[in-house]
Each structure stands twice: as structure tokens, then as C-alpha cells.
Amino acid sequence: MMRKRMLEESVLSRRNFIIGGSLATTAVLAGCGQQQAASTVQPVSGIQLYTVRDAMAEDMAGTLARIAEIGYGEVEFAGYFDKSPAEVKAILSDNGLAAPSTHVGHDVIRDNPMPAIEAGAEVGHEWLVLNWLAPDQRETIDQYKRWAEVMNRFGEQAKAAGMKAAWHNHDFELMAIDGTVPLDVLIDECDPDLVKFELDLFWAQKAGTDIPALLARDPDRFVMCHVKDMDQSGNMADVGTGVMDFRSLLASDVSRFQHFFIERDDAPQPFETAAVGHATLETILQTVGGQHAR
């Protein structure tokens, strides 16, 4: 109880800072109101569980209980930590959490996707997301074209099981190879009916991408968003405490995203990161008129 009270006091203190000065929490309204009126998607605050991966490995049930206590309604998985799909589904149900998405390794997607597809269907995921490409898989544009073929096949397999496929970006997909941006190739080569994209704001910013222009190019392809912040040195920061201007990054197309997941890859205090990020994200979603799960 004392730990919970201390966490709440910390969050309230950080929330006051966030609301008073953070670019992330106060600035989305101007560009989003008209588009939100036309949107049928009611966003819910979510977190990518990679943020709390060490706690998940030690105690999944306890970790998800704390995530729900903070106020999150959705989670995105990054592994099941030796739990069966049935166990994962039960823990989610016990805590009133939805898990619309999970990350899947590129080697699994390419070489043996069916176990991941079957597990995802049992847990109840809607999205199966390629999480990352190893360096030796992303050296040339031709490799990206082959990965588009892999993703199209994976998308067909996911669709047959009642799910959908997506690609999560880092900075390297947005850095040109011989004058060609790999993400442009993926958008062009992946079947729009089979493969969507999960936009990671931090990595897109790190690559120097014009994010609003990227979204405007084909907004219906970007269905999920990793909301991540950056400090003045270009490193990751708790969402709401850094320099990311979420107004300019999200205002024009925020209503196109179906799911928003807070994430920090290197969180020194993961549950504080989760709490501060939730306070920020809730303010963003309230600003755009979203309904929030509790």
C-alpha cells in the first residue's frame, strides 16, 4: 500500500509538470478535433510490455496486475515468458486487460510462423507485428523487397487465422540505402490489404523523418503507434518529460491510429515510466476525445 501511495504521489507530481509544460500532453487538440469527429476508433491507453520485460520474466501475473492498477486498458506483448497461451489469456482476463497486438521475431515469421499464429489466435491478438530486422537482413534494398514478400505471405497466413500482420519500424527502415528509403519500398511492395505498419515515433524522429508527411502519404497503412519520448541528447526518456513535439507529430493523423502503446526500451524505473507515460497518454487521448478503458 505504501509503495502504491508513493507511486501515485510521484505520478501526480510528474503529471503536474507534464500538464504544465510538456509538449506531449497539451498540444494535440488544435489539429485533431475535426478528424476525431469522423473517426470510429475510440483509442485506449496501452503499453508495450518490453518496457517492463524483466518484471514480466519474473512475475507475469503480478506485473500485469500492476499495469492494470496504473490504469492501462491495453498491452502489447513482446514474448510470453514460458507461459502457455491459455495462461496468458487467463491472466489478461483476471486483470481486465486487452492484448490487441504482439511482437514476433523476423526469423519466426520467415521460417516457422504457424506456432506464433496459433498462439496469437488463442490469446486473442488482432495484430502480429514484425518487431525488428537483424543487421544482416537489412543491408540492401533487394533484401527489403524479399522481406515484403515474406510479410505478404505472413499476412495471408494471419488473415486465414482471423488476425492481421504489421511491421514495426526502427530508424534503419527510414535511412536511405543508395538513395532509396527502405520503408518506402515496404509500403509499396507489401499488400495494403495484408500488411499494415506500427509507427515508432522515437525511431522515426531519430532518423530525421518528416513524420506528418510520412503519415499523410498513406495514413490508412499506419494503424498502431509507439508513443516514445526523446531527451535533448537524443536518448530515450519517459513519455511526457522529453522534447518530442507530439502536436506536430500526431495532430494531422492521430485519429487514424487504432492503438497507442507507451514504450521505453531502456527504462531505469520501468513502473514509474509506465505511470508517467500513462498520465501523458491519457491526456493526449482525452484531448482527441477518446474513450478510455479502466
Phi-psi region of 69 (alpha: psi -120 to 50; beta: other; left: phi over 0): alpha
B/e letters for 253-278, b = 16+ CB within 10 Å, e = fewer, are bbbbbbbbbbbbeebeebbbbbbbbb
In a domain, 276, yes or no: yes
Look at residue 124 and give its three-state secondary structure: coil
Which residues, in sequence order, are CB contacts of 142 under 8 Å at separation 6+? none
pLDDT at 251: 63
In a domain, 292, yes or no: no
Structural domain boundaries enclosing 46:
2-287
pLDDT at 283: 85
Contact 175, 207 (CB under 8 A): yes
Distance CA 74, CA 225 (A): 13
Record the cell numbers describing residue 132, joined without a space.
525488428
In a domain, 293, yes or no: no
Record the cell numbers describing residue 194, joined without a space.
495484408
Instruction: Using the structure block, give the residue that is written with the C-alpha cell 498462439.
Output: 119
Long-range contacts at 39-42 (CB < 8 A, ≥ 24 apart): 39/255, 39/256, 41/255, 41/257, 41/258, 42/290, 42/291
Record the cell numbers describing residue 183, joined without a space.
520503408
pLDDT at 44: 86
In a domain, 294, yes or no: no
Instruction: Using the structure block, give the residue that is written with the C-alpha cell 478528424.
Output: 35
User: How many folded domains does the chain comprise?
Assistant: 1
Contact 76, 48 (CB under 8 A): yes
pLDDT at 42: 56
CATH number for the domain that contains residue 258: 3.20.20.150
Note the pTM of the prediction, 2 decimals.
0.84
Look at residue 59 and give its three-state secondary structure: coil
Look at residue 66 and give its three-state secondary structure: helix
**What one-letter code names the amino acid at 239?**
V
In a domain, 178, yes or no: yes
137: DSSP letter? G
Contact 101, 129 (CB under 8 A): yes
**What one-letter code names the amino acid at 222?**
F
Provide block-wise average pLDDT over 10 residues at a time, the chain (294 residues). Answer: 43 40 36 42 86 98 99 98 98 99 98 98 99 98 99 99 99 98 98 98 96 88 96 97 83 72 97 97 71 34
In a domain, 146, yes or no: yes
The DSSP code sequence of 156-205 is: HHHHHTT-EEEEE--SGGGS-BTTB-HHHHHHHHS-TTTEEEEEEHHHHH
In a domain, 243, yes or no: yes
What element of type H or E holds 103? Answer: strand 98-104
In a domain, 222, yes or no: yes
pLDDT at 254: 52
pLDDT at 256: 80
